[in-house]
Amino acid sequence: MKLHEYQAKEVFADAGIPVPESRLASSVEAVVEAVGEIGFPAAVKAQVHVGGRGKAGGIEIVTSEAEAREAAESILGMDLKGYTVERVLVEAGVDFVDELYVGVTMDRAAGEPVAMISTEGGVDIETVAEETPEAIAREQIDPAFGMHPYESRKVVYEAGVEQQFAGDVASILRTLFDLYEDSDASEIEVNPVMITSDDEVVAADAVMNIDDDALFRQPELAEMEEESFENDLERKASEYGFEGANYVRLSGDVGIIGNGAGLVMTTLDLVDYYGGTPANFLDIGGGAKAERVANALDMVFSDENVDSVVFNIFGGITRGDEVAKGINEALEQFDEIPKPVTVRLAGTRAEEGMEILNTDLVTVEKTLESAVQRAVADAAEVNE
Amino acid sequence: MKLHEYQAKEVFADAGIPVPESRLASSVEAVVEAVGEIGFPAAVKAQVHVGGRGKAGGIEIVTSEAEAREAAESILGMDLKGYTVERVLVEAGVDFVDELYVGVTMDRAAGEPVAMISTEGGVDIETVAEETPEAIAREQIDPAFGMHPYESRKVVYEAGVEQQFAGDVASILRTLFDLYEDSDASEIEVNPVMITSDDEVVAADAVMNIDDDALFRQPELAEMEEESFENDLERKASEYGFEGANYVRLSGDVGIIGNGAGLVMTTLDLVDYYGGTPANFLDIGGGAKAERVANALDMVFSDENVDSVVFNIFGGITRGDEVAKGINEALEQFDEIPKPVTVRLAGTRAEEGMEILNTDLVTVEKTLESAVQRAVADAAEVNE
Amino acid sequence: MSILVDDDTRVVVQGITGGEGNFHAEQMIEYGTNVVAGAVPGKGGQTTAGVPVYDTVEEAAIEENADASVIFVPPAFAGDAIFEALDAPLDLAVAITEGVPTQDMAKVNKRLSEVDTHLIGPNCPGIITPGESKLGILPGNIFSEGNVGLVSRSGTLTYQVVDSLTQRGIGQTTAVGIGGDPIIGTSFVDALELFEQDDETEAVVMCGEIGGEDEEEAAKFIGEHMDTPVAGFIAGRTAPPGKRMGHAGAIVSGSGTGTAESKIEALNDAGVPVGDTPEEVADNVESFL
Amino acid sequence: MSILVDDDTRVVVQGITGGEGNFHAEQMIEYGTNVVAGAVPGKGGQTTAGVPVYDTVEEAAIEENADASVIFVPPAFAGDAIFEALDAPLDLAVAITEGVPTQDMAKVNKRLSEVDTHLIGPNCPGIITPGESKLGILPGNIFSEGNVGLVSRSGTLTYQVVDSLTQRGIGQTTAVGIGGDPIIGTSFVDALELFEQDDETEAVVMCGEIGGEDEEEAAKFIGEHMDTPVAGFIAGRTAPPGKRMGHAGAIVSGSGTGTAESKIEALNDAGVPVGDTPEEVADNVESFL
């Protein structure tokens, strides 16, 4: 789960990390009111989960009420890489002399968190990581002990942070690391941490992603999830319990449903291999019952981009007859099937499932390859 | 630093451990009022740092107001193994069917905390430890990870706690362990944890000792220290900064001051070896200046049991001339020296120190052995 | 021969009194797995699926000589259950549970460096030595005895490939699902090393997916240390960066690490053919034998 | 010969810009110790006591080839300073600081099991190889070169004994104060083992005190593994149970473990004479030579 910048900054401020004064606004009038309270210069920043907001026109610096109104009108409601901007953060402008990158994430290969600081802040850190990896100081942290103070100092000095600010930056890093652990974050980064012209150290942006698998023990953060949904499909996926990225919307037109992440990914890859474009990833998981299968179909039908649907089930604990029942139930509600559905069942009770399936409503294929080919062809037909 | 039972129970209750209802009282009327609120039966428990309070008459169970008054009159002001009882805890009586011992302490040899449970609760656990060590289930806890839930269950089951109460007892143990870590305790024990007749699990007594060296980061517990002093000498030692057991009062008549714990202990041992009895242990530490030396003398003079004083200084960072100056300053305040003082200086600037010392006020000895013998003889003379 | 589990493996099922634990304990026993005990706090003394239940794993290990466990415990308690298995100590722990918080696994990972226990998973289907023993939720009927080892980050994808092999008459020595989480116990390299040492394993199938660098490390290991031929597959070629695909570990980072291209290239460089479809993988294995 | 430190030991002083750190850095240099750097966060680039100061111990280790540190850091930060020395990594860390919270030391103790660094202390006077190198606060002038090793939990008691030895013309190979805290790095056994291996050490003095079981373990080690004769001393014979005597570690528990009697008996059983007074200890050493 990704927190919005304004949510992450609330968390940071509560933990004692200095952040600029700010207001959340979802209307032009609210933006104007906010700059009235905060003063100028101020930044108007789109609150959507999109990287590179600035370059895409999602952030504007304003120095007057007229500019603020103009910026609000242009940003609120704009489409930013496919997401509609519904909220902006209005924030006091910071007069900075230097920018740092400070972050904590999980080093998968080591199985340990890693703390990072770079004096190349304010730019895309992934570009820095690729082009000048030596510009990022890294320190792996033993998860049993947590971050020792000396480790925070080590990474600060290794990054080459000026001595005058080393203590403040180390302190921010330690607080971020504690937040990382206490909030079950998968990633926290502040890019940039700004050194202001009056020698303050301020977190000017905030990224905080929470481990979906740990939300059960993070009730306060879980409450923020509702506000973090970007559209109705994401909200519906959560309601249906396809959370934890079991539903991922993509940009193609072949809807895909299967059981098991690897098999569903493989189905996506085969759609591509046979010339189609996947509209989504939807993993119904192991042992799904009829209702979950019906919900999955509703989920995919709700995506207006979808032109055909392929079901790919290899039953282990999932039973083919249950899946078939769910498909029938879901489709029998319609007077006319909204999009053509192809089904491939294998493994546990696949034979029984194929007998149950109403072949007036779906096409049954015996192999994975033929099922995908059929769904790709169906979608192509719609687009002709 | 030892917390009183009532202090420890406050801490336990705040952490969610069930304790009986109670009131602290320092007068007979307050005890009567307390039993009026709490009801009968109730326990009236002396709040002094003495083991085996019950056997010594420091705890009484009362079933009427008259008995409460009687108990209060007998316990308040009583002398319990050398300590005057100034406060009692009035506590709701618990109708129990079983008693357990639950504790956490540091296993020095392993350098790890150890959690312990025994179904032989309610009696002196050290007797159990000596006579039937197998009756205590022990589990060492890795201090980097803290206590895993399974570890609390393991020790509960190994101790043979009935399955019905295993969950509650394990939960108390985990809370105690977290308190142990969060409070920088050196020891926490509840003896007994009572299983009540209505199947509740209650902490009926509470021992909590805090690492003196960690009090600087335990401000709330440090505040409790004032109330934990048992007499004026302990209070004075704390004011003079002889904390951390650098001043320990004993029962003899030869006052002992030195630098370094091992050397002071050795001086005590030599007093004993030469037929005297040590009145105290007082370590002025390394590098003491004149004022600290003077304070140490005042400290020892304040003990009415002391009949003579021996100073034993082996200077490393401590300078003999500084010590001599402090001794002179302290003694020059008196018209008459209250108790005879013998001084032995060795090591750094010992020669200079011996020249500075006012031999009208003190006796100077060249060796440790002769100094101790002299002080023992001085004390013996007073007692003749 | 086989790796990690065989006829002699004595299994305790952690969480045996839960719905999933109970069901799969029975399935394992039916398959022939030597399930000797269950372990569930507070349920000691009961009998479930025909085996005695103990309050702690340690008791099960002592009383029933269990040397391996399969963990069916809800995510909130799974980390603790793994620690308990490591501490018992057992030789092998197989964590089926999906959704274990990553930071719990980071702590488990640290402890793994201090003990000798093999951990498989979490979020995995388990391990099976066909005809001998199955620890986990794999459908036993699709497997057959033979000479191909199989290691995979995915459950149903494994079934898909195994089904193809079995239908072609190609059996398996051992198949192990190592799990789809970012931090797991047994890695590809660990499993490949065991297969390389196993005399009966004549070829290995390795099914990777996007995310992390485990496949790249495996490729390096294969190139430098393996004589046994390996056929590869990588799922997630079409996944866009920054989107997690079901598995918590299946995500291409924004900086482009963990892509299917990188993994396929590394495997190809190590002489491993990577099939475009599961059928092609089976074709490649067939060509090795 | 000597143990742990000699002419070649390259020392970084952690906390060199503080009052104590600065004073003793100068004292050590005056004694001839090869002090090569200081380490104090935020003071990198300065020069103190004639040596360069670095912000981190790691930098001092890399830039000046330091392989040992002496830690003069206030108690609240001493645990962290020790971790920093272990992680640098150095071969030896000597923690002088008194009053380090015990639970900080429990964590340090865990880390010590994972690294190769020797830790001496905390709450100790340090270590000295007379005529070569001194790491800590011991008064160098009372020591002399010779063939007796000395290990002690107490500082000034060590001086008392050393002074007696030196006055009798008996010099020392190395003297090490292991510290008076409940949890310390180098134990009696560790130090005795090193002295046993040292060719020049012909006799060892061991000054123990009440509390813990380290002396009993040392007695066992001496009885089983040492040819070099050992003369013992135990302070705290008159300390009543339950009262801590200055040193955080010097306490006889209520159950009677850690008493002077138990320690003296164990040492006597191992053939170690235990003196009643420091002079008797010197007598015993003299009788060995």
Same domain, C144 and C118: no
Q: Is residue D243 situated within a structural domain? A: yes
Q: Tell me, yes or no, if B174 comes closer than 8 A to chain C by beta carbon.
A: no
Chain D residue numbers touching A163 (CB-CB < 8 A): 42, 44-45, 55
Q: What is the pLDDT of residue D254?
A: 62
Pairs of CB atoms within 8 A across A/C: 185
Say yes or no: D118 and D254 in one domain. no
pLDDT band, residue C150 (cuts 50/70/90): very high
Domain annotation covers residue C89: yes
pLDDT per position as a tens digit, B227-277: 666 677 878 888 888 876 899 999 899 999 999 999 999 999 999 999 999
pLDDT of residue D255: 64
C101 and C158 share a domain? no
CB contact under 8 A, B262 and D76: no
Mark the binding-site residues of A for ATP, compressed into ranges.
45, 52-54, 91, 94, 99
Structural domain includes residue C133: no
Of all residues in chain A, the one with the smallest CA distance to D111 is A145
Which chain C positions have a beta carbon within 8 Å of A369's beta carbon? 277, 279
Whether D133 is covered by a domain: the verdict is: no
Q: Is C210 domain-assigned?
A: yes
CB contact under 8 A, D41 and A154: no
Per residue in C231-276, pLDDT (tens digit) is 999 999 999 888 888 888 888 776 667 899 999 999 999 999 999 9
A145 vs B142: CB contact, 8 Å cut-off? no
Of A139, A189, A225, A322, which is the active-site residue? A189
**Among the three residues D123, D151, D179, which one is the final residue of a domain in this structure?**
D123
Chain D contact partners (≥3 CB pairs within 8 A): A, B
Q: Tell me whether residue D159 is annotated as binding.
A: yes
D150 and D102 in a common domain? no
Contacting residues for B301 by C-beta, under 8 A, at least 6 apart: B255, B309, B338, B339
Inter-chain CB proximity A143 and C75 less than 8 Å: no
Confidence of residue A137 (pLDDT cuts 50, 70, 90): very high
Q: Where are the beta strands (DSSP E) in chain B?
A: 22-25, 42-46, 59-62, 79-80, 83-84, 88-92, 96-107, 112-118, 136-140, 185-196, 201-203, 207-210, 247-249, 254-258, 280-282, 308-315, 341-347, 363-364
Say what the pLDDT of residue B54 is: 82
Cβ–Cβ contact A219 with C under 8 A: no
Rounded to the nearest integer, the mean pLDDT of chain D is 95
In chain A, what residues touch B144 (CB-CB under 8 Å)?
Answer: 142, 144-145
Q: Which residue of chain D has the CA closest to B263?
A: D157
- Rounded to the nearest angstrom, the minimum Cα separation between B31 and chain C is 42
pLDDT of D121: 95
* Regions of chain B where pLDDT drops below 50: none
* Subunit contact B167:C42, Cβ cutoff 8 A: yes
User: How many Å lie between the alpha carbon of A142 and the closest alpha carbon of chain B?
Assistant: 10
Q: Which residues of A touch B142 (CB under 8 A)?
A: 144
| Cα gap A333→A324, rounded to integer Å | 15
Distance, in Å, from the CA atom of B223 to the CA atom of C208, rounded to the nearest integer, reads: 59
Which bin fits D231, alpha (ψ -120 to 50), beta or left (φ > 0)?
beta
**Residue C44: which of B151, B163, B167 has the nearest Cβ?**
B163
- Whether A157 has its CB under 8 Å from any CB of chain D: the answer is yes
What's the domain range around C86?
1-123
C39 and C83 in a single domain? The answer is yes
Q: Which domains does chain B have, with CATH numbers?
A: 21-92 (3.30.1490.20), 96-222 (3.30.470.20), 232-382 (3.40.50.261)
**Residue-wise over C223-250: b if at least 16 C-beta within 10 A, else e?**
eeebebbbbbbbbbbbbebebbbbbbbb
B148/C contact by beta carbon, under 8 A: yes
B153/C56 CB distance under 8 A: yes
Whether residues D255 and D144 share a domain: the answer is yes
Q: B142 and chain A: CB distance < 8 Å anywhere? A: yes
Query: pLDDT tens-digit profile of D166-179?
Result: 999 999 999 999 99
Chain C CA closest to residue B144: C107
Whichever domain contains C46, its CATH number is 3.40.50.720
Residues D14 and D80 in one domain: yes
CA distance B378 to chain D (A): 20
pLDDT at residue D244 in the model: 84
Spatial CB neighbours of D30, under 8 Å, sequence gap ≥ 6: none
> CA-to-CA distance for C48 and C38, rounded, in angstroms?
7
Q: Which residues of B are catalytic?
A: 101, 189
Tell me whether residue D44 is annotated as binding.
no
Shortest alpha-carbon distance between residue B154 and chain C (Å): 7
Residues of B in contact with D276 (CB under 8 A): 273
Q: What's the pLDDT band for D190 if we cut at 50, 70, 90?
A: very high
Asked if residue C131 is part of any domain, the answer here is: no
Distances (CA, A) of A237 to A230, A232, A247, A281, A330: 12, 9, 6, 12, 17
CATH number of the domain at C219, please: 3.40.50.261
Report phi then psi at C113, rounded to 5. -70, -10
**pLDDT of C91-104, one tens digit each?**
999 999 999 999 99
Shared domain check, C170 and C115? no
Distance from CA of B148 to the nearest CA of A (A): 12
Q: Has D179 been labeled as part of a binding site?
A: no
Which of A149, A151, A166 has the CB atom closest to D42's CB atom?
Answer: A166
- C123, C150, C169: which is the final residue of a domain? C123
Q: Which two tokens stand for residue C16?
A: 């045996």
CB pairs under 8 A between B and D: 186
Tell whether C196 is in a known binding site: no
**Chain C residue closest to B140 (CA)?**
C87
Segment D265-278 mean pLDDT: 96
Q: How far is B158 from chain C (nearest CA, A)?
A: 9
Q: Is the per-residue pLDDT at A59 higher than 90? A: yes
Q: Tell me, what's the ipTM?
A: 0.93
Is C144 found in the same domain as C96? Answer: no
By CA distance, what is A263's nearest residue in C? C157
What residues of chain A, 31 to 90, have a C-beta less than 8 Å from chain C? Answer: 51
pLDDT of residue B228: 65
Question: Which residues, 6+ apart, have CB-to-CB distance to B204 below 8 Å?
Answer: B19, B20, B94, B96, B99, B190, B192, B193, B194
Interface test with A, best of C238, C281, C283 (most A CBs within 10 A): C238
Clarify whether residues C167 and C277 are in a common domain: yes
Closest Cα in chain D, distance from residue A150 (Å):
6
**Which of D98, D123, D148 is where one domain is finished?**
D123
Q: Is residue D21 part of a domain?
A: yes
Say whether both C100 and C182 belong to one domain. Answer: no
**Does C158 reside within a domain?**
yes
Chains in contact with A, where contact requires at least 3 CB pairs less than 8 Å apart: B, C, D
User: What is the number of structural domains in chain C?
Assistant: 2
A316 — pLDDT class (breaks 50, 70, 90): confident
Co-location of D152 and D275 in the same domain: yes
Please identify which of the residues A6, A10, A101, A139 carries the catalytic annotation.
A101
- Is the CB of B273 inside 8 Å of chain C's CB atoms? no
User: Which residues in chain A (34-73) have CB-CB distances under 8 A to chain B?
Assistant: none
pLDDT tens profile D2-36: 999 999 999 999 999 999 999 999 999 999 999 99
Q: Tell whether the model's pLDDT for residue C206 goes beyond 90.
A: yes
